[in-house]
Amino acid sequence: MTTTTTPASAPTTPDAVHAPLEGSPGIPFRRLLEVERRKIVDTRSGAWLLGITALLTALTLAVMLIWGESDGLGFMGLLSVATMPLSLLLPILGILTATTEWSQRTALVTFTLEPRRGRVVVAKLLAVVLLSLTVLVLTIVASALFYVASTTLRDGPADWSYEPAVVAKLLLLLTIYLVQGLAFGLLFLNTPAAIVTSLLLPVVFTVATTIVVALERFTPWVDLLVASEPLMAGSMGGTEWAHLGTASLLWLGLPFAVGTWRVLTKEIA
């Protein structure tokens, strides 16, 4: 009888099993950013929210066209009015950007394809910044169309003066709204909790600082709503920028840092 022997295979170690494949650099960051950008509009909730935001903006412009005194506003004043509804809905869109994966249980797929969770968080941040730029461009186009209709129907003088500083401040304001929503979404990783907290907490904080007289002098430093008012009014000085920076650190930086830590360390069920 003859026996056939097979060579013994080399023992498999845990390090060998989990060793990364050479020549596989992972998902390119550009593709990751594109995926996160598409997630904002591909989901049903995100699409509906963007649609409602566009509808409210159009209604605001229509109200100004029919009943408002838009002749004295000028194009830049009209643009500032058109961005007012965005302050209510854009934070919710930022929240959905952070919480959709956890509420729909797709985080396991995301972090399996890209285990480096920090890159996903950075991609979400850049996606909402790009979204704020897109929203501002669309608002400018809508305001321009409205202003053309208004000056044509009323046969009044047109003021098309363009102020780049005002546009830059509006972009900063829209970015603050979206990043604040993203920060609260990362902090709670739960859509209802993040929405309720982001809407109620600033109001409660503002009421508390108004009631307690001793806190009034600290209000511009810690209340983001109060600190952002000069930005809309176009009266930003050194002190006002300091107020906005401090309030942004409290309402954006702190929840974003804690939320990022939660995403990096949270176990996925």
Q: Which two three-digit tokens encode residue 125?
A: 């941040």
Our measurement of the distance from residue 176's CA atom to the centroid of its chain's CA atoms, rounded to an integer in Å, reads 7
| CA 183/CA 255 separation, integer angstroms | 5
Q: Which two three-digit tokens encode residue 260?
A: 């990022």
> Is the pLDDT higher at 70 or at 233?
233
Pair 186, 262: CB distance under 8 Å: yes
| CA 246/CA 262 separation, integer angstroms | 23
Amino acid at position 80, single letter = S
HSE of 21 in the Cβ direction (CA atoms, 13 Å)? 4
Span 2-9, average pLDDT? 47
- pLDDT tier, 181 (very low <50, low <70, confident <90, very high otherwise): very high
Tens-place pLDDT, residues 187-229: 999 999 999 999 898 888 888 887 887 778 888 898 888 888 8
Q: Which two three-digit tokens encode residue 121?
A: 């968080």
State pTM to two decimals.
Answer: 0.85
Element (H, E) at 160: none
Tens-place pLDDT, residues 216-264: 888 889 888 888 888 877 778 889 999 999 999 999 999 999 999 999 9
Is the predicted pLDDT of residue 16 greater than 50, yes or no?
A: no
Mean pLDDT of the chain: 84
User: What is the pLDDT, as a whole number, of residue 213?
Assistant: 79
User: What is the pLDDT, as a whole number, of residue 120?
Assistant: 95
Q: Beta-carbon neighbour count of residue 109 at 10 Å?
A: 11
Q: Which two three-digit tokens encode residue 218?
A: 């600290």
Amino acid at position 236, single letter = M
Q: Which two three-digit tokens encode residue 29?
A: 């960051």
Span 32-58, average pLDDT? 90
Span 33-38, average pLDDT? 93
**What DSSP string describes 161-176?**
---HHHHHHHHHHHHH
Percentage of the residues of the chain whose pLDDT score is greater than 90: 41
User: What is the pLDDT, as a whole number, of residue 151?
Assistant: 79
Q: Give the domain ranges of the chain.
A: 27-264
Is the predicted pLDDT of residue 157 greater than 60, yes or no?
A: yes
Query: 3-state class of 23 per DSSP?
Result: coil
Our measurement of the distance from residue 260's CA atom to the centroid of its chain's CA atoms, rounded to an integer in Å, reads 15
Q: Which two three-digit tokens encode residue 112?
A: 């399996």
Beta-carbon contacts of 142 under 8 Å, excluding residues fewer than 6 positions away, are 57, 58, 61, 82
Is the predicted pLDDT of residue 84 greater than 80, yes or no?
A: yes
Pair 191, 96: CB distance under 8 Å: yes
| CA 205/CA 102 separation, integer angstroms | 28
- pLDDT tier, 88 (very low <50, low <70, confident <90, very high otherwise): confident
Amino acid at position 143, single letter = S
Residue linked to tokens 């969770």: 117
Span 58-81, average pLDDT? 78
CA angle 98, 102, 106 (to 5 degrees): 110
